[in-house]
Amino acid sequence: MGKCAFVFPGQGSQSVGMGADLIKAVPEAEKIFKAADTRLGFSLTDLILNGPEEELKRTENTQPALLTVSAALHALLSGEGIKADYLAGHSLGEYSALYAAGVLGFEDAVYAVRERGLLMEAAVPAGRGTMAAVLGLDAAALKEVCGQASAGNESAQIANLNAPGQIVISGTVDGVAEASQLAREAGARRVLPLSVSGPFHSELMKPAAEKMRRILDGLPFENAKIPVVANSTAQTETTADEIRVHLIEQLYSPVRWIESVEKLKSLGVDTYIEVGPGRVLSGLIKKIHRGAVILQVNDLKTLKETAGKLGGRK
């Protein structure tokens, strides 16, 4: 039997009401939500369950909200006796993976991602940075396009290598607009502006990374009990110090998701469980690792379905 990887989603997978069935039915999940409220000093639970959506979509709220729901779902999956051989997460989801690996305690993880969100918001003045998804152009061509669009105070760079033919670019508003136009001329099928509040995973996040370093240096990190594939290196990591360094780099480096999934495939993974709201990563993995078994755990119903399918993996 092949290996199993748990993968954890990032920003964009949130929705008002996510995790509601968990809180009502499972004391362990309710405990995790309460721990988040206590550590952050406000009712994150109320925001997750009731919105408003605009407030939940703010980066500093989305990040701890997704981590909390993912952590609760992971606890239930563990309770079913289903274990991962490897872990990975997309951007913010890397923190969920590190929590699952025992690198960070839950309260430290939820505090870290709240601070990460605040720093990402503050790094670039509102309206100065943006991101866009480019479909149907390869990474080498897009890198060249971004180089041409980066001049003076304007910049554009590759931010997320999500799936073959699906790459996100990030930078200044004018830099991304120029790169988008050049990408179309170079043969991109479509370019979709993303409704994000900043130029994430770009050099413009370096001021946030320096401040994040101080926050992470103040938190206890343990070595990972399960290897985690890092976004910035697409390699498995277990050493606390190594993980800390790459989390800081992650803020301004591309998310190498295609390579991360290819790495898991090379390690013998044939089953992926997306642990957290939505199915974004499942869709991406399907394009990268054809023929893999891809399952979701995003509520009690999918937990039971997945546990049923994986009876033999316990």
Summarised one tens digit per residue, pLDDT across range 78-88 is 999 999 999 99
Does residue 312 have a pLDDT over 70?
no
CA distance 233 to 250: 9
Across the range 61-89, mean pLDDT stands at: 97
92 plus 133 within the same structural domain: no
Question: What is the extent of the structural domain holding 59?
Answer: 3-123+204-313
Question: According to the model, what pLDDT value does residue 78 have?
Answer: 93
Residue with tokens 């755990």: 297
Catalytic residue list = 91, 201
Across the range 257-266, mean pLDDT stands at: 98
Final residue belonging to a domain, choices 196, 215, 237: 196
Confidence of residue 314 (pLDDT cuts 50, 70, 90): low
Does residue 170 have a pLDDT over 70?
yes
Orientation angle between helical segments 93-100 and 106-123, nearest 10 degrees: 160
- What's the chain's Rg over C-alpha atoms? 19
76 plus 137 within the same structural domain: no
Orientation angle between helical segments 106-123 and 59-79, nearest 10 degrees: 150
Tokens, residue 186: 């170079």
175 plus 260 within the same structural domain: no
Final residue belonging to a domain, choices 196, 231, 250: 196
191 plus 263 within the same structural domain: no
Across the range 248-270, mean pLDDT stands at: 98
Residue with tokens 């360094």: 245
216 plus 302 within the same structural domain: yes
DSSP per residue over 268-300, as a string?
Answer: TEEEEEEESSSSHHHHHHHHHSTT-EEEEESSH
Q: b/e map of 22-59 (b: 16 or more CB within 10 Å)?
A: bbeebeebeebbebbbebbeeebbebbbeeeeeebbeb
Tokens, residue 122: 């503050």
Question: According to the model, what pLDDT value does residue 165 have?
Answer: 95
212 plus 177 within the same structural domain: no
Question: According to the model, what pLDDT value does residue 311 have?
Answer: 75
Interval 128-161: pLDDT, tens: 999 999 999 999 999 999 999 999 999 999 999 9
Q: What is the CA 205 to chain-centroid distance, rounded? A: 16
Residues 6+ apart with CB under 8 A from 275: 6, 7, 8, 70, 73, 74, 77, 96, 100, 297, 298
Does residue 178 have a pLDDT over 70?
yes
Final residue belonging to a domain, choices 178, 196, 214: 196
- Percent share of the chain, pLDDT over 70: 99
Interval 217-239: pLDDT, tens: 999 999 999 999 999 999 999 99
Confidence of residue 313 (pLDDT cuts 50, 70, 90): low
Confidence of residue 273 (pLDDT cuts 50, 70, 90): very high
100 plus 222 within the same structural domain: yes
44 plus 106 within the same structural domain: yes
Interval 278-289: pLDDT, tens: 999 999 999 999
Tokens, residue 115: 């601070």
